[in-house]
Amino acid sequence: IVFSAPYGVRGDDIREALLKAKNMDLPELVALAYDAVKETPLYVARFLQVAKRLGVLDPDARVSLEQGKRILDAYRGSVVEEETLRELSFDKLDPEALREFLSNLKEVRVVRSEGPSPLAQEVIKNPYLRREVAVNLKEVAMEYVIEGLRRAALRKEAVFVCASCGSTWRAEVVGLSHPVRCPKCGAAMVAPLPSSQWGESVASLYSRWKRGSAGKLSEDEKRLINEVRERAELYINYAMQGLGRYVVEALMNQGVGPRSAKKVMESLVRGGERAFYEALLKAKEEYLVYKKFIDKREGKENREKA
């Protein structure tokens, strides 16, 4: 049997793990397998199925992966968890096959290749295999893009506006504790804005409007006041579900307003964190395409006027 080392796992580590597993008792190996299974989406999905069947959850309830994880944490050690593990051990795990494999394991060698393996050479020569590899590489690249989006959002500073009293303040996204509350009145109806000239001006406008010193608003100013409210409503709706940080992350991206962020959050609820970042990336791309179109049109109009 040949094992490759994914994600940079050292061959020596795989060898050591296999040799240690060979000397373990079967119950100990099964316990390790249970611990590994509990960290997978498969386990969460099966747990929710069991919970619905046992009447713990409404059979028609639609529960996202993130919500399922929180429910699972609340039922650790319960009958629901025991039944889930029992079903998975019956359906997905095969302790006897594992025992047989380890008992037949005689030697583990680590081989390091200086050049392309015969399989890699075949991939290079075969255009159909190259296409499959390209798809896999795209998937790996997406993981890096998603991680970049997440880190970029956490490095940013946000401007917050309290929709209740109009107070404004700044905070680093990475250090936020959710739900974010107004330091003055304690309300959680707060609107996250990017720490930019635009964000500062919108925060100032809303604060003045709330105090009654903004005067008569123009149509654009009315639109900005409504946007602050929409941002605050979006934040509090998801913050009460424990998902406030995702709203802040989404709204820190240029071109992602409350309407786009709402769609991105719906993707999170339906498909989990990966779907959230994919939807966020798509929203950013759509904004850039739109901005490029607007810039091109304005440039054409300016040339015609000249």
Rounded mean pLDDT, 228-252: 94
Condensed to tens digits (0 to 9), the pLDDT of residues 30-58 reads: 788 777 777 778 788 888 888 888 887 88
Determine the pLDDT at residue 114: 63
| 195 in a structural domain | yes
Rounded to 10 degrees, the C-alpha dihedral 245/248/250/252 comes to -140
Do 127 and 52 lie in one domain? The reply is no
pLDDT bin (cut points 50, 70, 90) of residue 63 is confident
Higher pLDDT, 72 or 261: 261
pLDDT at 137: 47
Count the Cβ atoms, other than its own, within 10 Å of residue 251.
Answer: 23
Q: What is the reported pLDDT for 119?
A: 57
Determine whether 250 is exposed, middle or buried from the number of CB atoms within 10 Å of its CB (0-12, 13-18, 19+).
buried
Tokens at residue 68, please?
Answer: 């399922």
Domain annotation covers residue 111: no
Higher pLDDT, 124 or 222: 222
> pLDDT digits over 163-206, tens only?
999 999 999 998 999 999 999 999 999 999 998 889 999 999 99
- Confidence (pLDDT) at 147: 79
User: 172 and 50, same structural domain?
Assistant: no
- The reply to whether 173 and 91 lie within a common domain is no
Question: Does the residue 113 lie in any domain?
Answer: no
Q: Is residue 89 part of a domain?
A: yes
The answer to whether 182 and 167 have CB atoms below 8 angstroms apart is: yes
Please tell me the predicted confidence (pLDDT) of residue 121. 63
146 and 286 fall within a common domain: no
Residue 57: left if φ>0, alpha if ψ -120 to 50, beta else—which one? beta
Of 7-11, 28-32, 61-65, 275-279, which has the strongest mean pLDDT?
A: 275-279
Number of domains in the chain: 3
Is 109 contained in some domain? no
pLDDT for the residue numbered 132:
52
**For the chain, percent helix, then strand, then coil, each to nearest 5?**
65, 5, 30
Q: Determine the structural domain holding residue 123 and report its residue range.
A: 118-151
* Rounded Cα gap, residues 13 and 16, in angstroms: 5
Please give the pLDDT value at position 116.
61
- Asked which of 27-36, 186-195, 212-221, 290-299 is least confident by mean pLDDT, the reply is 290-299
User: In whole angstroms, what is the distance from residue 229 CA to residue 252 CA?
Assistant: 16
Say which range, 78-82, 140-144, 283-287, has the weakest mean pLDDT: 140-144
Residue 1 lies in a domain: no
Looking at the structure, tell me whether residues 161 and 269 fall in a common domain. Answer: yes
- Reported confidence tier of residue 218, pLDDT bands at 50, 70, 90: very high
Do both 239 and 219 map to the same domain?
A: yes
- Say whether pLDDT at 131 is over 80: no
**Phi (first) and psi of residue 150, to 5 degrees:** -65, -45
pLDDT > 70? residue 91 = no
DSSP, residue by residue, 206-275: HHHHHHT-S-SPPHHHHHHHHHHHHHHHHHHHHHTTT-HHHHHHHHTSTT--HHHHHHHHHHHHHH-HHH
Q: Residue 82: left if φ>0, alpha if ψ -120 to 50, beta else—which one?
A: alpha
Polymer length in residues for the chain: 306
Tokens standing for 6?
Answer: 């994914």
- CB of 26 closer than 8 Å to CB of 99: yes
The predicted pLDDT at position 32 comes to 81
- 177 and 78 in a common domain: no
Q: Are residues 299 and 167 in the same domain?
A: yes
pLDDT for the residue 264: 94
More confident residue, 103 or 2: 103
The reply to whether 262 falls in a domain is yes
| Structure token digits, residue 290 | 């739109």
* Between 100 and 202, residue with greater pLDDT: 202
Instruction: Say if residue 164 is in the same domain as residue 284.
Output: yes
Give yes or no: residues 216 and 277 share one domain. yes
C-alpha 16: how far from its chain's center?
33
Is residue 161 pLDDT above 90, yes or no?
Answer: yes
147 and 169, same domain (yes or no): no
Same domain, yes or no: 145 and 165: no
Residue type at 107 in one-letter notation:
E
Residue 110 lies in a domain: no
The Cα–Cα gap between 84 and 38 comes to 10
d(C-alpha 161, C-alpha 158), whole Å: 10
